[in-house]
Amino acid sequence: MSLRDVLSPYTAWKHLFEAPVTIKDPIGREAAERYRGFHQNDLSKCIGCGSCEDICQNAAIDMVPVSDPKTGDSGLRPMIDYGRCCWCALCVDVCMTGSLTMSNEYTWVDSDPDAFRFTPGVDLKSWDAEEKGYKRENNERRLTGTHRPEMGMLEPEARIASFGEIVHGYTRAEAVIEADRCVECGLCVATCPAHMDIPDYIRKVREGDYEGGLKLLYETNPFSQTCGRVCTHACETACAAVHEGDAIAIRWLKRDITDNVPRERYFDLISKPDVPETGKKVAIVGAGPGGLTTAFDLARAGNEVVVFEALPKPGGMMRYGIPEYRLPYDVLDHEISVIEKMGVDIRCNQRIGTDITLDQLKKDHDAVVLSLGLNQGRSTRVPGSEEAESAIDLLRRITAGDKVPVPKQVAIIGGGNVAMDIARSMARLQRQKHGEVGVTVTALEDFDHFLADDEEVEEAREEGCVIYDARGPQEIVVKSGKVAGLRTWKCKAIFDAEGRFAPKYDASDEMVHPAQMVVEAIGQSADISLLGAELTEKLEWNRGRIRIDQNGRTSEPWLWAAGDLVSGPDVIHAVADGHRVAKSVSAMLQATRETH
């Protein structure tokens, strides 16, 4: 012990006159740039997917309804209870749209404890516009995957050589990666016309339980194999993942399930329920997706179901409208065989109105369901159009194996998916016959408003089709009784100020596309001649479509309508229609059983 040890502690006094380091008034001290303070929610981005609620381990987030939701979202927004929030910001990290962020505001005094429970963005706060605060670095969503594995496909050279299926389907590893990205928000379920259990069957893919997945698929869709290939997948536009990256490949994952269950197992897994026969008979006109879904449901409920199909094989537009390279026929055959296994009697080559009358059907059955496809092509009615082919008619003939003319140059009028289908089908036939492709597509819409799917356009181009946008057909040039080309003008506008179809053209920008065949693919309508004049008169109509109630029943109590005739046109709407009609028919049959 020394004198130094006694005096040394007094050196602390040198701090005596220094300014205090404590902050007199800490309220209002600005926090750091990336501080995790009170939340902000950009309502223009938030879709209410609830991923923030899922990840919050404190259950501090409740999804609550708001009065002005956007279409396609859940109508819910996160309400945060700051009595529970631990400021971990996982909700910000997991947010699927990047709408949820945190300000650097953290001091707030209020005597009302309930004030600390509010819905950011809805309940306006002073920090809503604060730019400082916690944001994801580079706005990257790192807690869930953002991009789908690329789908394996045939190379353009290989696929143009035949009508073989283009898409390979995912490998197991790819399917797991893709299924893993789903956050199970369920926005897709509401968007799907048939309300398929999408998050649940995606989970089955993840878990590798394909048989369980198939059972789930068939609960809502007896055309899952078809939809797994050609569905218009509205679900993917509603998918939460689409806002920052790719939507979950819902359609391909559905296909992954159906491809991974051996075909013979379908008949064990999708067995007919053990229900008593009702003794009721239902006739269904048209063996497309709508009619067959109705048949599937009604047969499983114990009714005797007969499906009348005018064409040689069942499937409707799925078979005669969709080219084989998108939907192989054996897939469709198998799918329909599962439906037949339920006891559905499908009678092909039975045209109602010709082979058997609708009155006869009405007499012989307790209910009749009309499920007609849009099998008549519309015409442009431009000069020479009587020489044009109809896309839908050509597609049917190609499927049926009929001989169709295959000239070296073909011009297509139309820019929708049917136009692409016929363009690509003709391209294949040209390749087989002439060794090269000579297809020109002329669409009224410009590329910014194109009707066909992007992938269809891209693939058609890869296969050698030439696509012109904003071209309006003026004349099908006929020379010596033979088609010689298609004359088009530049289309400046399609609709008038009131939104009516009234295309305006620039006559100075004229093109003549040389072609020995011109195909019109500008839309289809249903052939309703089978109804007969009397019934047509009796039925109520709505802008050319049969008027139906919310259950698919027409104004005639014995007649229902489903499929492209009343909605769509696509497979999944027809399936949804089929379920709706089957439910309604079942209810009616049940009621008559109870009253008689």
Identified binder of another protein from the candidate list 55, 76, 167, 253, rule CB under 8 A: 55
> Which residue stretch of 54-62, 75-83, 190-198, 267-275 sits at the interface with another protein (rule: CB under 8 A)?
54-62
Contact call for residue 32 and another protein (CB under 8 A): yes
Among residues 310, 315, 290, the alpha carbon closest in space to that of 352 is found at 310
Identified binder of another protein from the candidate list 42, 75, 82, 90, rule CB under 8 A: 90
Are the CB atoms for 221 and 574 separated by under 8 Å?
no
Type and span of the H or E element at 433: helix 417-434
Among residues 168, 256, 169, 148, the alpha carbon closest in space to that of 210 is found at 256
Identified binder of another protein from the candidate list 46, 63, 66, 89, rule CB under 8 A: 89
Q: Between 90 and 494, whose beta carbon lies closer to another protein?
A: 90
Is it true that the peptide bond before 569 is cis, omega within 30 degrees of 0? Answer: yes
- End-to-end CA, the chain: 114
Contact call for residue 51 and another protein (CB under 8 A): yes
Q: Token pair for residue 314? A: 């069942």
Distance CA 352, CA 26 (A): 84
CB of 37 to another protein, least distance (A): 9
Contact call for residue 1 and another protein (CB under 8 A): yes
Identified binder of another protein from the candidate list 181, 365, 396, 513, rule CB under 8 A: 181
Q: Which residue is associated with the tokens 């329909």?
A: 336
Among residues 370, 377, 367, 381, the alpha carbon closest in space to that of 397 is found at 377
Site string for another protein, 408-447 (x = CB under 8 A): ----------------------------------------
Contact call for residue 131 and another protein (CB under 8 A): no
> Which residue stretch of 27-35, 154-162, 219-227, 561-569 sits at the interface with another protein (rule: CB under 8 A)?
27-35
Q: Between 34 and 492, whose beta carbon lies closer to another protein?
A: 34
Q: Between 24 and 479, whose beta carbon lies closer to another protein?
A: 24
Are the CB atoms for 98 and 45 separated by under 8 Å?
yes
Q: Between 62 and 462, whose beta carbon lies closer to another protein?
A: 62
Q: Between 59 and 109, whose beta carbon lies closer to another protein?
A: 59
Contact call for residue 67 and another protein (CB under 8 A): no
> Which residue stretch of 134-142, 356-364, 457-465, 480-488 sits at the interface with another protein (rule: CB under 8 A)?
134-142
Contact call for residue 572 and another protein (CB under 8 A): no
> Which residue stretch of 83-91, 232-240, 257-265, 499-507 sits at the interface with another protein (rule: CB under 8 A)?
83-91
Distance CA 173, CA 188 (A): 23
Contact call for residue 277 and another protein (CB under 8 A): no
Identified binder of another protein from the candidate list 95, 160, 166, 183, rule CB under 8 A: 183
Among residues 35, 53, 58, 183, the alpha carbon closest in space to that of 119 is found at 53
Buried b (16+ CB within 10 A) or exposed e, 438-477: bbbbbbbbeeeebbbeeebbebbeebbbebbbbbbbbbbb
Q: How many CB atoms lie within 10 A of CB 151?
A: 16
Are the CB atoms for 133 and 94 separated by under 8 Å?
no
Identified binder of another protein from the candidate list 82, 87, 108, 558, rule CB under 8 A: 87
Q: Between 11 and 67, whose beta carbon lies closer to another protein?
A: 11
Distance CA 161, CA 142 (A): 42
Identified binder of another protein from the candidate list 195, 203, 347, 362, rule CB under 8 A: 203
> Which residue stretch of 135-143, 286-294, 301-309, 317-325 sits at the interface with another protein (rule: CB under 8 A)?
135-143
CB of 151 to another protein, least distance (A): 20
CB of 256 to another protein, least distance (A): 17
Q: Between 205 and 531, whose beta carbon lies closer to another protein?
A: 205
> Which residue stretch of 70-78, 136-144, 353-361, 400-408 sits at the interface with another protein (rule: CB under 8 A)?
136-144
Contact call for residue 566 and another protein (CB under 8 A): no
Contact call for residue 143 and another protein (CB under 8 A): yes
Query: Residue 513: is it exposed, middle or buried by C-beta count within 10 angstroms (0-12/13-18/19+)?
Result: buried
Contact call for residue 35 and another protein (CB under 8 A): yes
> Over the Cα atoms of the chain, what is R_g?
31
Contact call for residue 9 and another protein (CB under 8 A): yes
Q: Between 23 and 497, whose beta carbon lies closer to another protein?
A: 23
CB of 135 to another protein, least distance (A): 10
Identified binder of another protein from the candidate list 120, 121, 145, 473, rule CB under 8 A: 145
Q: Token pair for residue 196? A: 């398929």
The distance from CA 309 to its chain's CA centroid, rounded to whole angstroms, is: 27
∠ CA 552-558-561, nearest 5°, is 30
Helix (DSSP H) and strand (DSSP E) numbers for the chain = 21, 22
Distance CA 68, CA 156 (A): 47
Q: Between 145 and 472, whose beta carbon lies closer to another protein?
A: 145
Identified binder of another protein from the candidate list 63, 94, 305, 339, rule CB under 8 A: 94
Q: Token pair for residue 253? A: 């994952």
Are the CB atoms for 346 and 314 separated by under 8 Å?
yes
CB of 91 to another protein, least distance (A): 11
How many chain residues are in contact with another protein, going by CB under 8 A? 41
Distance CA 161, CA 397 (A): 19
- Sorted by sequence, the CB contacts under 8 Å of residue 149 that are 6+ apart come out as 170, 174, 177, 178
Distance CA 95, CA 109 (A): 28
Identified binder of another protein from the candidate list 182, 214, 369, 410, rule CB under 8 A: 182
HEC profile for 302-320? CCEEEEECCCCCCCCHHHH
Q: Between 185 and 566, whose beta carbon lies closer to another protein?
A: 185
CB of 29 to another protein, least distance (A): 11
Distance CA 250, CA 201 (A): 10
Q: Between 136 and 365, whose beta carbon lies closer to another protein?
A: 136
Which 3 state secondary structure label does DSSP give 89? Answer: coil
Instruction: Give the residues lining the site for another protein (CB under 8 A).
Output: 1, 4-6, 8-9, 11-12, 15, 21, 31-36, 51, 54-55, 57-58, 86-90, 93-94, 134, 137, 142-145, 180-184, 203, 206
